[in-house]
Amino acid sequence: MRTIAVIAQKGGTGKTTISCNIAASAHNAGLRVMIADMDPQGSSTDWARSRQIPGPSVLPLKLGSLFPAQYTAENAGVDLMIIDTRASAPADVVAAAKAADLCLIVVRPTVIDLRAIASTVDVLRPLQRPAAFVVNQAPCQRLSKDPVMVLEAIELLAGYGMAVAPVGIRSRLIYQTAFTRGLSPREAEPDSLAADELERLWTYTLGRLWPAGFRRAPRKTLLADYHADQAMPMPPAGAWMTGAQPTMAAE
């Protein structure tokens, strides 16, 4: 099992949106996915409960339950646990990051968000966990060009010495309308630009979690159920490969 912590000390950056969409992508790729909802607001729990079709399981939990829940999930054959954290809770961020194989720091390309990101980096950096910034709610391109604020944001984030996910997520209404139905834009509108950028974000995430390709780990305690150990093909390598420049999908 691998674990992702989706974090940002700032509120409203899109932690829950990113958590649920990566969870849906992983589920649709055949992984057994669990969202650990550490936010008492319960937004990702609401998302999972609104869903009318099979999908990731969701577990609302508090800080003290995180490590037991992770242990139980692994033993139950979960492939991917995604921890959706709350804002302004450094202790939660530390615990989630320590539990994680990959930390995704969600940030909007705005002055206010970019100023606030330093506090998240300060909490995360001493832990030395694999991490990447995910730029969310980026304004769409004009005349095939990214607004200067987006380019400057990517440059500033890269300056922290952490990876910037090579695909950003734009501000699009479909993220909000799909969410209310417990869906991802990839499910609600498979041919949309949002679906395309989410697919690329999932490919990047998958490559960071399983560089040699996803392979289901055997259950630790329930060895009698070991039949589920089957390899899944890795999606074709894309722009997420090491050294690629961060890019944003066209509008």
Ligand X SMILES: Nc1ncnc2c1ncn2[C@@H]1O[C@H](COP(=O)(O)OP(=O)(O)OP(=O)(O)O)[C@@H](O)[C@H]1O
Q: Is 16 in the site for Mg ion (CB under 5 A)?
A: yes
Taking residues 134 to 153 in sequence order and writing x for each that binds ligand X by CB under 6 A, - otherwise, the string is --xx----------------
Taking residues 55 to 94 in sequence order and writing x for each that binds ligand X by CB under 6 A, - otherwise, the string is -------------------------------xx-------
Cα separation of 158 and 200, whole Å? Answer: 19
**Interacting partner of 95 out of ligand X, Mg ion, none (Cβ under 5 to 8 A depending on kind):** none
Q: How far is the CB of 93 from Mg ion (least distance, A)?
A: 13
User: 193-209 and 173-180 are packed helices; what angle lies between their axes, rounded to 10 degrees?
Assistant: 80
Q: How far is the CB of 36 from ligand X (least distance, A)?
A: 14
Q: Which of 28, 43, 65, 192 binds Mg ion (CB under 5 A)?
A: 43
Rg (CA), the chain: 17
Q: How far is the CB of 159 from ligand X (least distance, A)?
A: 23
Report the site for ligand X in 172-191 (rule: CB under 6 A): 172, 175-176, 179
The smaller minimum CB distance to ligand X, of residues 139 and 238, is found at 139
Q: Give how many residues touch Mg ion by CB under 5 A.
A: 4
Closest CA to 29 of 171, 203, 195, 172: 203
Closest CA to 234 of 73, 30, 78: 30
**Interacting partner of 30 out of Mg ion, ligand X, none (Cβ under 5 to 8 A depending on kind):** none
Backbone phi, psi, residue 183, to 5°: -120, 165
**Interacting partner of 36 out of ligand X, Mg ion, none (Cβ under 5 to 8 A depending on kind):** none
Which positions lie near ligand X, rule CB under 6 A? 8, 11-17, 39, 41, 43, 86-87, 136-137, 169, 171-172, 175-176, 179
Which positions lie near Mg ion, rule CB under 5 A? 15-16, 39, 43
